[in-house]
Amino acid sequence: MNEHVVIITGASLLSPSIVAAIPATSIVLGVGRVLDAALSAGLRPSGLIGDLDSVSDDGLAWAEAHATIARHPADKTQTDTELALAFAAGMRPERLTMIGGGDRLDHTIAAIGALAARHLTGVPILDCWWNGQHLDVIHGPGRRELLLEPTSTLSLLAIGPKCNGVGISGVRWPLDKHRLEPVVGHGVSNEVTDADGVVPITVSSGVLTIFNVPQTDPPIERN
């Protein structure tokens, strides 16, 4: 089992602060053309996944010499990000973080939706940085206790099927055993009220995303 696997994907430039927060012991995987951006940011992925049709010649030469390559045909039914998440889940990490971004809304929705895949259910800590926004993902049944910035805003959104048994405390509008329908606004724009920023969250079934502002980069698991 690997402690922390980080997937670098998407089409935007990598934030220096987020790159700096990646632990040196993490296993980094690059997805397609993002390899070039990862190398420019000082990252050295140990794996490269995708159809690789947009990776530069220099980047591909580096990967062939230094990384494990999982190459897929360009004509496929899954995105490169979905393939990378499945590859990472097979490594049985204690934590899986996806870092990416881009200006295409369809790609963003597909990437966030990919975090609901059933094979990610067994990952103890699943989170994502997308366009600089942080989110945690809980596959129910599950519980997380997040350490967030006091008075900061957070939002809960169900992806995939509805979430049952949603509970949250330490916020302005707590919930207890609540049912949250997919992508509806009931859980949007809550506020952290706990003085220490401790926010426990539970869900009995479904896949829950928590968009938040962590105190640490990335957020820590306290329980």
Q: How confident is the model at residue 218, as a pLDDT?
A: 46
Residue type, 11: A
* pTM of the predicted model over 0.85: yes
Q: How far is CA 156 from CA 153, 163, 199, 209, in A?
A: 10, 10, 12, 6
Nearest alpha-carbon partner for 108 in 27, 49, 183, 168: 183
From 74, 103, 131, the end of a domain falls on 131
Tokens at residue 66, please? 């230094």
Q: How confident is the model at residue 57, as a pLDDT?
A: 92
From 110, 131, 152, the end of a domain falls on 131
Domain co-membership, 84 together with 193: no
- How many domains would you assign to the chain? 2
Reported residue count of the chain is: 223
Q: How confident is the model at residue 1, as a pLDDT?
A: 63
pLDDT digits (tens, 9 = 90+) for 122-143: 999 999 999 989 999 999 999 9
Q: What percent of the chain has pLDDT over 70?
A: 96
Domain co-membership, 201 together with 114: no
Domain co-membership, 21 together with 124: yes
Q: How confident is the model at residue 16, as a pLDDT?
A: 86
Domain enclosing residue 210, as ranges: 137-223
Domain co-membership, 22 together with 110: yes
Q: How far is CA 210 from CA 48, 69, 148, in A?
A: 28, 32, 11
pLDDT digits (tens, 9 = 90+) for 158-209: 998 899 999 999 999 999 999 999 988 899 999 999 999 999 999 999 999 9
Q: What percent of the chain has pLDDT over 90?
A: 75
Mean per-residue pLDDT, 103-117: 94
Mean per-residue pLDDT, 92-106: 94
Domain CATH number, residue 176: 2.60.120.320
Domain co-membership, 3 together with 53: yes
pLDDT averaged over every residue in the chain? 91
Domain co-membership, 18 together with 77: yes
Mean per-residue pLDDT, 18-34: 90
Q: How confident is the model at residue 205, as a pLDDT?
A: 97
pLDDT digits (tens, 9 = 90+) for 43-62: 999 999 998 888 899 999 99
Q: How confident is the model at residue 216, as a pLDDT?
A: 64
Q: How far apart are CA 90 and CA 158, in angstroms?
A: 24
Tokens at residue 105, please? 């809304």
Domain CATH number, residue 20: 3.40.50.10240
Domain co-membership, 44 together with 118: yes
Residue type, 42: G
From 77, 97, 131, the end of a domain falls on 131
Q: How far apart are CA 104 and CA 92, in angstroms?
A: 30
| Helix, strand, coil abundance in the chain, percent, nearest 5 | 20, 40, 40
Domain co-membership, 10 together with 103: yes
Inform me whether the pLDDT recorded for 221 exceeds 80: no
With H, G, I as helix, E, B as strand and everything else as coil, classify residue 207.
Answer: strand
